[in-house]
Amino acid sequence: MTRHCTYCGKPFEPRPQVPDQAYCSAPACQRARKRQWQQAKLQSDPDYRINQRAAQQAWSQRNQDYWRSYRDARPDYAQINREQQRLRDQGRNVDLAKMDACDLPSGLYRITRHPAFPRENNGSWVVEITPICVTCPCKMDVSREDVIDTPAVCP
């Protein structure tokens, strides 16, 4: 019996072993289904919420360690960073003050390569940083999926 996918709206045949199937098998729709499930779960299950938060914290912690050991393993990198900071501290106080004023608050952002500069070839990318609102489901794209999909999170 043909049904219409909740996410993409295309008709599909539910699998016999999943009679209530509401999403087709397209990867985007399966991701949407997972997000939906996670959101419902976050709302209905306090334990899950706590676990997710712990997993996220663990992930940040691991990331911190990663960058710390990255810097430790590459003294040049830390040296260059310090040098750059020193130059900034010395000569560009005005700019620094300006930067502080518009400093991005910590939060969720999406970084996309800017379409107007598709082929910058000097080793850097021009990117666009888009704040992601905290309440809409799109935040699952950047945070939850990272946490859930990272193999390191699984025991």
Rule CB under 5 A: which residues touch Zn ion?
5, 7-8, 24, 26, 29
Distance between CA atoms of 67 and 133, rounded to whole angstroms? 27
CB of 144 to Zn ion, least distance (A): 20
Q: Which is nearer to Zn ion, 8 or 132 (CB)?
A: 8
Q: Which is nearer to Zn ion, 9 or 105 (CB)?
A: 9
CB 77 within 8 A of CB 70: yes
Distance between CA atoms of 66 and 4, rounded to whole angstroms? 44
Q: Which is nearer to Zn ion, 31 or 139 (CB)?
A: 31
Q: Which is nearer to Zn ion, 38 or 52 (CB)?
A: 38
CB of 44 to Zn ion, least distance (A): 24
Token reading at 21 = 């199937």
Question: Pairing relation of β-strands 3-4 and 11-12?
Answer: antiparallel
Q: Give the count of beta carbons closer than 10 Å to the beta carbon of residue 108.
A: 14
Distance between CA atoms of 144 and 139, rounded to whole angstroms? 8
CB of 54 to Zn ion, least distance (A): 32
CB of 140 to Zn ion, least distance (A): 17
